[in-house]
Amino acid sequence: MVGPAPDVAATRVAVRRAMASRGLTGQRVVIACSGGADSLALAAAAGFEVPRAGGSVAGVIVDHGLQPGSEQVAATAADQCRSLGLDPVEVVRVSVSGAGEGPESAARDARYAALTAAAERLGAAAILLGHTRDDQAEQVLLGLARGSGTRSLAGMPPARPAQTCSAVLVVRPFLTVPRTATEGTCHALGLTPWSDPHNTDETFTRVRARRVLPVLERELGPGVSAALARTADLLRDDAEALDAAAHTAYEGLGEPPWPVSGLTALPAAIRRRVWRELALRSGSPSGALTGEHLRAADALLTDWHGQGPIDLPGGLRVHRRGDLVALLPSR
């Protein structure tokens, strides 16, 4: 008996392993499908694997309404999801605000909010996303280009809570699967993926990173994308250990002001994470809070010679007076 094409088999195995490793076997999951090759291949793999293990698969297509013809793209994606056995399949229209950290960030926030709400309404335990190994490599490459820290270089996590107060998980089964496998799966199964014009628009930094990766593969040899993805896995373990240590230190701080000696006793990598947690919990937007902000705040501990307060995004200010330091609203 002839088995499935190799690419189809690879995507199915990835879904099967992700479901088992996250304790999702036998439960309902939602596929976030844009109609592109990655999410269509994910819908196909999940539509095959999940019911065989006693679970069920729903599909949610988020229409951001940002491109002409987006309604038809969403309807076509929904039809293909239904043909793959997903039930129910919903198209959710969202409104994307231009405010905040930019249109990509606003669209992402709206998409995740809609997916989480749909998953909770449908009684799903998880939302499956189609990010591939190539997407992970691009994420790490962007982090390197920006001079980001360990958390950014750790890339996208294989699983995380969908939102802070939600029991729904976001799971990425394809982070070990190359993009060629999702494209090959669509070809083998006769699926017609949508090609997002934004994926060729070089005004987006991620598109330029996607263009650079093949050059690195050609100049440095094959395997660069896989190596970058492995780097993310290794750094994620480090980042999680440091984050846990920083959270423990944060919990022990108490109310401000804090003794400088207590903070300077912490290793620098943990101390900067404490600053980050303090800022985020005080209302600083994560996308606006940079490493430079954290280094400037830290200099009030390690290189203080009477300089004034440091302003942080979100209307916050770090003050030092003598041997005490505090993070407070600036007004």
* Bind-site residues: 34-39
Neighbouring C-beta atoms of residue 53, cutoff 10 Å? 14
DSSP 3-state assignment of 164?
Answer: coil
Residue 127: name the closest of 230, 18, 226 by CA.
18
Residue 90 in tokens: 């919903």
Binding residues for ATP: 34-39
Residue 168: name the closest of 203, 130, 122 by CA.
122
DSSP state, residue 29: E
DSSP 3-state assignment of 90?
Answer: strand
Residue 74 in tokens: 């969403």
What is the C-alpha to C-alpha distance for residues 52 and 123, in angstroms, rounded to an integer? 19
What is the C-alpha to C-alpha distance for residues 210 and 195, in angstroms, rounded to an integer? 15
Residue 322: name the closest of 244, 248, 264, 257 by CA.
257
Quote helix, strand, coil % in the chain, to nearest 5. 55, 15, 35
What is the C-alpha to C-alpha distance for residues 148 and 66, in angstroms, rounded to an integer? 30
Residue 77: name the closest of 121, 37, 118 by CA.
37
Distance of CA 11 to the CA centre of its chain: 20
* C-alpha distances in Å from residue 256, one per residue of 163, 278, 282, 329: 28, 11, 12, 12
Amino acid symbol at 127: I
